Every structure is written in structure tokens, then in C-alpha cells.
Amino acid sequence: MGEEVTLKREVGWFGSFSLGYADVGADIFIALGLIVLYAAGVAPVVFLITAIIYICIGLAYAELAPIYPYAGGAHVYAMKAFNDLYGFIAGWALIMGYTLCISLFALTASGYLLYLTGLTGYSYSLSFLGIPLIGLISIFLIILLIIINYLGIRYSVEMSTALVIMGLAIQVFILVPGFILVFNPSKLIEQIRIIGSAKVFEEISYIPFLEINLQNFLYSITLAMASFVGIESIAQAAEETKRPLKYIPKAAKLSVIVVLISVMSFSILSIGSMDWTRLAESYEYSIAALVETYPVIGKFGAKLVALAGFVLCYASSNTGIVGVSRLVASMGKFKLLPVWFYKIHPRFRTPTRTVIIFGMIGLLLASIGSIPFVAELYVFGSLLGYVILMLAFIKLRNTEEEVYKPWITPGEIKIPFRRSIIRIPLTGLIGLIGVLSLLVLVMFFHGRGRILGLIWITAGLLMYVYYRRKIRMKLTDTYSKKLIVPASYIYRVGVLIRPIFEETRKIVETITKQLDKRFEITLISIIEPSEFNLDLRSPSDRIELEKIKRDLLNELEDSAEELRNMGYKVSTKVLIGDLEKVVSREIESGRLDFIALIRRMTEKGRIEKAREDRLYKVISRYRGNIMVLRRV
């Protein structure tokens, strides 16, 4: 039997950011007009509400993805936290979202392309075999993406990166002149008071006795979430990301910041610059319509905006293929779907079967040519996946405390329970409440989304039951949980050694019993002049300190040599200065992934206890960078 072919790590931190931003940053180009269509002037508030939920989702991925850097994202975390059934539901729901992402943003890219070419009036009147022109262009665009993704993630990411850089540059060009030339704070204040359109829309399932304006406003909140769907693309490419421990949190947090600035800036600028009714009428190319109002540069700027809309939406469609192909392949790998889907091409190192199959499904959906229809279904699948993501996020914070967490989301609620403490991350709680609320609104107002979404989930569950029985595995099996282990990479850890007082034998025993050979170790001693009644300002004292430093280096080298003989990679370092400042500087330098403190478990002397208290003061500021070793 040949060696298993796996995905190849070719994605850097900016490539990872580009995948996340491409899938989210383009959303404003379609969502702005749609949200204004239903929400009216209050659109910026709608975007702000959903932005809070997006922050929670983005930070959850920033914490979980580097701990479990597997393709699959939320479905992997659900399996680790619960069981295979939860993993399947999360994965199956996100498959729906990703597949619709391919078609939705191909359609939007086509809309902007038609605007560029001056053919907007023919987007639905011209057709071939019943497929409107906008659908025909989308089909061509998706076929090109299938070919690129078949050939390798590197080409796909390079394309996304180039498109994202171009798109970001054009967005700056749009926003800066807009706020200078046409933004009117009075107009913003006047229009933001208009809550919901008074128009009745056939696609909304209205509730009797509630005001139409209010229901349109609530409906717009569910659609606004489409502006923030996609950051999980960073997690889907985790198995292909270089140094995921470092790059994934960086990429996820940067995506959150840039997307928030983009979405809120565009929504505020648009409502403060032109009548919301005009924006609603041009929902297919709303930002281009906004820039047309700019004096002098309006006509040229509108074409440039259409170009930005095209490239970013096309990049977003591309990340849909990247995401769904890795997700389905991962589900095949963990036997949530037939293993046949987990086929990695031996030459291109891509999941070619899933690229072709789900690329073609996205192509068929795009042929419908209806953006609002596809947007409804897009939100349903993504929200259901996010509900399970948040549940897994909270559960794993409490059950996986011993694993290495490169980055921990700030803020948590601690609840004493049966001699233990339940830790609930604030972002997890807020995110869970938010996505559950949005999912309830979707079930109320999205008639087609509700019916087709439930059909999708039901069909998936029936298929899952049949397949698991066929391979004789329980629906709620936890077999996959054992396969999902925390990341195992080389970590650079600095072990703090108490000057003079630590014996070589004890140092070696402590390290070998608690750190394996995954760790590159630096033995660090910190000399505080005050402990030796010396002053750095005194020339004679500096000479004495240098002598102490040489002696300590020799002692550390004895320990290091023993560890090297056991197969460890070890270096030594002696630093002079204030304990807290030196430790903080070492952590912030980026040269070490962790600082390890050897903690004496027996009764401590007054001086040693004071030193340890000072170290814990530093630790409290760098929770994710500290390890505590029990001294043997």
C-alpha cells in the first residue's frame, strides 16, 4: 500500500489573511445595496449589530484553528468537543454556505463586470437555454476557478492575494475622497432614523400584526450577516498553512479588523452621502452607484469601483471553492462522508474530486441568476454552522485546558461548579446568543431559506445515517475525537533557571520529565544586581557581574550538555537586569514561543517566594506564552 498523499503547506500569513479577507471583504459589495433595500436608512446600525457577532466568530477561529490546524474548521472542533454527529451537522451546514458562496459571488462579480462593460440593461433580458446573461458569465468564471484550484492551492492563494491587494487599494481610493467630497453628517443623522422600508417584499414571510417596517428591519439583520460570512476560510486551509501556530491567529485578527473598518466605513459613507432609495434601486452595484455621485471623479471612480467589486467578489467565489473542497475532503477523511471524497492528487496535492464536484454544483446554482434567492440560503447554512462552532468553542475552553494555546481570546466568565470552575469566554457567549437569535429570525422570515435549508439538513442526515450504518459506525461515535490531536510542532521555550540555587541534576530531571523533544530549549538565568548587592552604575560592580555571568553560563552549559546528549536541542543565555523587564522583553521579542517557570512545590523561602510572585505578575500579562514546570 502506498504512502498517503496529504495536503501541502504552501500558504503564508498574508496568503491566509487573503483567504479570510477575500471571502468576507467582498461581501459588502453585494450586501450594502441589499441591506439598504430592506433596512432603509438605519443600515449602518444593522451592520454594527452583525459586526459584533462577526468579531466573536473571528476570535473563536483565531483561538481554535492554531490549536487544531486541520482542514475542516468548525466540523473538526465540533467532533473534538462533542461527537461525530455534531461534526457532521456543522460540516454539512457549512458545505451549503460555501457552495452558495461560489455561486453568489460569481453572480455578483458578473454584475459588476456587466456594469463595467455597460451591459447592465441586458443582464436578465439576454439568455441562452433559459440562462440569463449574468448567469452565463458566472458559469464561465466558475469554470476558470475550478481549473485554478485543481492545479494547486498556491495558484489559488496567489490569485486571491493579488485580487485582495488590488481591492484594498481601490477601497481606500473610494472611501477617502467620499468622506472628503460628498459625506454629509446631517444627512446621515436624518436617514439613520428611518427604520425599515415600508415596501412589502414577496420573498419575506411576514408575521401578522407586526409593522412591515420593523419586519423588513429584522429581515435585513439576517441578510447583513452575509457581509461577515467567510472568515472560516482561514481555518479550512489550516493544513496548508505554514507555521499555523503563529500565522493563523495573526491572519484571523487582521481580517476582523480590516473587514470591520471596510464594512462600517462603506455603510456610514453611503447613508451619509445619498438617498437610501437610490442605493436600494441599484443593489447589484450599489457602491458603484455611490461613487457616481462624487464630483469630478465620479464617472471614472464608478468604473474603478466596479473593477474592485469584480476582483473582490471573484476572489470570494474562489475562497468558496477552496473552503468547500477542503471541508468535504476532511469529512471524508473522518468518515462523516464517504472516504472516496478524501482523494488528494499525488502531483497537485489538492482534493481534486471535491474541487470538481462542488465547483460544478456552485456553477449550476449560479445559472439561476438570482442574487437575493442565493443570499437567503447562504445565510441559513452559515448560521447553523456558527451555532455549533460557538458551542464547541465554549466546551473546548473547559475540556482542553492542558493543550497549548498560542492565543487565547481575552475575557471570560468563571462559574464555580462542583469543586471546579466553568470558564465561558465572553466572545463565545455573545456569539452564541447572536447567531442563535439570527437563526431564529431566519426561520421566521426566510420562507424559501427555511424550507430549502431544512430539506438540505434532513437529506444530509439521512445520507449520514445510511453511510454510518453501512460502515458499521455509531452515529454519535467519538472515534474521530481521538484522531484530532493538538498541533505538534517545534516550540521554542525559554526555561528560567534560578541563579546559583538550581542543581544541574534537578534541572535535567525537571525538563526531561515534562518537555519532550518537540521543544527547542533555551536555559535562561537572570541576574538582578540588587540580589548580589551590586550596582550596574559602578565600574567595579559591572566587572563582578560579568564574572558571575560567566560562572552561571558554565553551570548552564553543564545542564545543556546533558540534555544535548539525550537528543534535545539546547542553548544557554544569562541576562543582567530587572527580572520583570527582562522576562517581558524576552516574551515580546518573538524569539520564544513560551517562557517556562520551574515551580518549587515544597515550602519556599521568603526571597524565592517574592521572586516567584514577581514572575506571576509578568505571567498575568502573557497568559498564552507561559508554561509552569513542576520541580522534581
* Single-letter code of the amino acid located at 479: Y
Query: For residue 369, what pLDDT is reported?
Result: 56
Compute the mean pLDDT over every residue in the chain, rounded to the nearest whole number.
83
Residue 533: phi and psi, rounded to 5, are 55, 40
Rounded to whole angstroms, how far apart are CA atoms 496 and 346? 46
Radius of gyration for the alpha carbons in the chain, expressed in angstroms and rounded = 28
**8 A C-beta contact, residue 592 and residue 583:** no
Classified as helix, coil or strand, 574 is: strand
Is the predicted pLDDT of residue 160 greater than 50, yes or no?
A: yes
Strand 519-527 and strand 569-576: the pairing is: parallel
**8 A C-beta contact, residue 393 and residue 412:** no
**8 A C-beta contact, residue 611 and residue 528:** no
Task: Please say whether the dihedral angle defined by the alpha carbons of residues 449, 450, 451 and 452, taken in this order, is positive or negative.
Answer: positive
Nearest to 387 by CA among 423, 442, 354, 434: 434
Q: Which H or E run includes 621?
A: none
Query: For residue 20, what pLDDT is reported?
Result: 77
* Single-letter code of the amino acid located at 124: Y
Is the predicted pLDDT of residue 437 greater than 90, yes or no?
A: yes
Query: For residue 3, what pLDDT is reported?
Result: 46
* Single-letter code of the amino acid located at 233: S
The residue ranking higher by pLDDT, 80 or 229, is: 80
596: its cell numbers:
517556562
Biggest alpha carbon distance in the chain? 92
Query: For residue 219, what pLDDT is reported?
Result: 92
Rounded to whole angstroms, how far apart are CA atoms 6 and 4? 6
The residue to which cell 520551574 is assigned: 598
Q: What is the dihedral of CA 404, 408, 411, 412, to 10 degrees?
A: -30
Strand blocks (E) in 87-126: none
Query: For residue 180, what pLDDT is reported?
Result: 92
Query: For residue 2, what pLDDT is reported?
Result: 44
Is the predicted pLDDT of residue 127 greater than 70, yes or no?
A: no
Name which CATH class applies to 13-475.
Answer: mainly alpha
Rounded to whole angstroms, how far apart are CA atoms 256 and 264? 12
What average pLDDT score do residues 305-332 get?
84
Query: For residue 99, what pLDDT is reported?
Result: 84
Instruction: Provide CATH 3.40.50.620 ranges for the chain.
Output: 491-630
* DSSP notation for 208-265: TTS-HHHHHHHHHHHHHGGGGTTTTHHHHTGGGBSSHHHHHHHHHHHHHHHHHHHHHH
Q: Give the count of beta carbons closer than 10 Å to the beta carbon of residue 331.
A: 31
Q: Which CATH fold topology does 491-630 show? A: Rossmann fold (3.40.50)
The residue to which cell 432603509 is assigned: 40
354-378 per-position pLDDT tens digit: 889 988 988 888 776 566 666 667 6
Is the predicted pLDDT of residue 116 greater than 90, yes or no?
A: no
Query: For residue 1, what pLDDT is reported?
Result: 39
* Distance separating the N- and C-terminal Cα atoms of the chain: 46
Is the predicted pLDDT of residue 285 greater than 80, yes or no?
A: no
What average pLDDT score do residues 86-103 get?
87
Classified as helix, coil or strand, 133 is: helix
Is the predicted pLDDT of residue 76 greater than 80, yes or no?
A: yes
220-240 per-position pLDDT tens digit: 998 888 667 777 778 777 777
Considering only 34-48, 81-95, 120-134, 337-351, which range has the smallest mean pLDDT? 120-134
Query: For residue 34, what pLDDT is reported?
Result: 85
464-497 per-position pLDDT tens digit: 999 999 999 999 998 888 888 776 555 788 888 8
177-211 per-position pLDDT tens digit: 999 999 999 999 999 999 999 999 988 889 988 99
Instruction: Provide CATH 1.20.1740.10 ranges for the chain.
Output: 13-475
How would residue 119 be classed by pLDDT, with cut points 50, 70 and 90? low
Is the predicted pLDDT of residue 595 greater than 60, yes or no?
A: yes
Rounded to whole angstroms, how far apart are CA atoms 90 and 562? 49
260: its cell numbers:
470591520
How would residue 123 be classed by pLDDT, with cut points 50, 70 and 90? very low
Q: Which residues pair with 423 in a beta bridge?
A: 414
What average pLDDT score do residues 18-36 get?
78
Secondary structure, 3-state, 380-397? HHHHHHHHHHHHHHHHHH
Query: For residue 92, what pLDDT is reported?
Result: 92
Considering only 147-161, 420-434, 565-579, which range has the smallest mean pLDDT? 147-161
**8 A C-beta contact, residue 203 and residue 448:** yes
Residue 578: phi and psi, rounded to 5, are -70, 130
Query: For residue 220, what pLDDT is reported?
Result: 92
Query: What global pTM score does this model have?
Result: 0.74
Is the predicted pLDDT of residue 79 greater than 90, yes or no?
A: yes
The residue to which cell 525538563 is assigned: 511
**8 A C-beta contact, residue 238 and residue 9:** no
Rounded to whole angstroms, how far apart are CA atoms 302 and 63? 39
Q: Which of 49-53, 344-348, 444-448 has the highest mean pLDDT?
A: 49-53
Rounded to whole angstroms, how far apart are CA atoms 22 and 29? 12
**Distances from the Cα of 296 to the Cαs of 286, 299, 436, in angstroms?**
19, 8, 46
For the chain, the residue count is 632
Q: What is the dihedral of CA 570, 575, 580, 586, to 10 degrees?
A: -50
Classified as helix, coil or strand, 631 is: coil
Classified as helix, coil or strand, 596 is: strand
What average pLDDT score do residues 392-409 get?
82
